[in-house]
Amino acid sequence: MKQASARSGNGGESAGAAIVLVASLVAIYSISQFFRNSIGVIGPDIAREFDLDARGLGLLASVFFLSFSALQIPLGMIIDRHGPKTAIVATAMIAVGGTVLFALAGSFSSLLAARLLIGAGCSSFFMGSLAIYAERFPPRRFSTMVGVQLGVGTTGALLATAPLAWSTARFGWRASFIAIAALTFVLTLLVMALVRESEAGQARRAERREDWRALLAGVVAATRVASFWPVFLMQAATYSAVAAIIGLWGGPWLTHVYGMDLAGRGQVLSFMVAVQIAGLFIWGPSDRWFSSYRTPGLIGGCFCLAVVATGALFPIPASLIAPYLLLYGFAFSTTPVLTAHGRALFPPQLLGRGLTLVNIGTMGGVFAQQALTGLVMESFGAKIVDGARVYPPEGYRAVLGLIAIELAMALFLYSRSNDPHPDKLLKNQ
């Protein structure tokens, strides 16, 4: 009894080893969350320094997700062939180099190149971690593990709000990114030293040892798994909606419409992220409450749609903008359930490729969303105030309207997806 309680997961490692494993993977993932959301706070400062309009700022934020998404297919193949730890360490070094380049950038093209490298470098931090969890923990606990990974890891997004605003005001955004590059390097060393893949997973990869042609055929096979596309599109619509606000338009919206300074917008966005983190822990195990992935996914999706539609249809008073953004952050916390739904669709031999394909929807959706909303915002025109471009409230409401339409379409398709929850399958046996 005592011995059993000290063991955890499929790999049979001690509870202490499991905690070290999860802590190392969550820490490196938090860096990815920082990078993807950092433009939301420092965006107005960068726009002023490099004379960027909404399209330029949207492009700068979105290219992170472009390179991140572009690497998902080769990343899935590498995970299935060489293992997730190898993928995490290799890409992390690219992230370190990209961060240094971003801090030293002297032109907009250098900024774009750096963001592309950072996106490529962070591409494995989430999916590689989930591949390790899928090998080491039982299927029923996978959604909870996703919730832990996202919930604790999203503290990186919290770091990209008020703390980044404070650091930028005191030391400048360039020095802040040099410090993040150093932190990323240290965390990479910790992953190398502390993360251990499961012996079963290593044995399976050694036994199968697919060539690259077979690996690519597996990618195609994963896209043909039943309900892949509805889950893919739901992930794309949901995550891109919250990333568009926290990672891009939240800061300018609070500044242009509500007159908040750097510290003020950083504080509001930090509370928004904090509420989202709490929501991730709440939504994480929700599939077990319903013995279903689809049911909590639909409930959460309808809640998201109601929140976004409200902001699109009605102007949010200054006294309610902070509570509105807190509600927005909580609503868009269903990612653990949707990710677990995607994981349940794939057999073990397609796990890495399947998860990374679903993640293309998540991150590719953000790239498309941020680039598209930049075009929408620019269509409303801007006034030049103190050397900065200021966009009208109608532009932000139009962005929310676009998000609402995308969510409604994704919800309709997702409602028809298969629901292979292990509890449901057990009841049917």
Q: Give DSSP secondary structure letters for 201-222.
A: HHHHHHHH---HHHHHHHHHHH
Q: What is the pLDDT of residue 428?
A: 55
User: Residue 19: pLDDT above 90?
Assistant: no
| pLDDT tens-digit map of 66-121 | 898 888 888 878 887 788 899 999 999 999 999 999 999 999 999 999 999 999 99
CATH number at residue 307: 1.20.1250.20
Query: CB–CB of 396/314 below 8 Å?
Result: no
pLDDT digits (tens, 9 = 90+) for 172-187: 999 999 999 999 999 9
The three-state secondary structure class of 385 is strand
The number of distinct structural domains making up the chain is 1
Take residue 249 and report the two structure tokens written for it.
């338009």
Output 115 or 36, whichever has higher pLDDT. 115
Which of 95, 128, 134 lies closest to 24 in space, CA to CA?
128
Decide: 100 and 45 in contact? Cβ < 8 Å. Answer: no
| Size of the chain in residues | 429
The label of the residue with tokens 């279903």 reads 292
Give the residue-averaged pLDDT of 321-326. 94
6 in a structural domain: no
When the pLDDT of each residue in the chain is averaged and rounded to a whole number, the result is: 85
Residue range of the domain that includes 66 = 14-421
Q: Is residue 8 part of a domain?
A: no
pLDDT higher than 90, residue 47: no
What's the pLDDT tens digit per position in 289-298? 888 999 999 9
Q: Residue 299 pLDDT > 60, yes or no?
A: yes
Specify the 3-state DSSP secondary structure of 8. Answer: strand
> Is residue 325 in a domain?
yes
Indicate whether 205 pLDDT > 70: no
What pLDDT was estimated at residue 180? Answer: 94
In-domain check, residue 3: no
Q: Which are the contacts of 218, defined by CB distance < 8 A and separation ≥ 6?
A: 77, 80, 210, 349, 350, 353
Residue 5, domain member (yes or no): no
**Position with higher pLDDT, 367 vs 200:** 367
Is pLDDT at 188 greater than 70 in this prediction? yes
d(CA 196, CA 132): 9
Q: What is the pLDDT of residue 210?
A: 64
Residue 2 lies in a domain: no
Report the b/e string of 250-277 with b at 16+ CB within 10 A. bbbbbbbbbebebebbbbbbbbbbbbbb
- 245-292 pLDDT, tens digit each: 887 888 889 988 998 887 888 888 888 888 888 888 888 788 888 889
Is residue 136 pLDDT above 90, yes or no? Answer: no
Provide the percentage of residues in the chain whose pLDDT is more than 70. Answer: 91
**Residue 13 banded pLDDT, cuts 50, 70, 90:** low
Q: How far apart are the C-alpha atoms of 241 and 366, rounded to whole Å?
A: 8
User: Residue 368: what pLDDT?
Assistant: 85
Q: Is the distance from CB of 95 to CB of 122 less than 8 angstroms?
A: yes
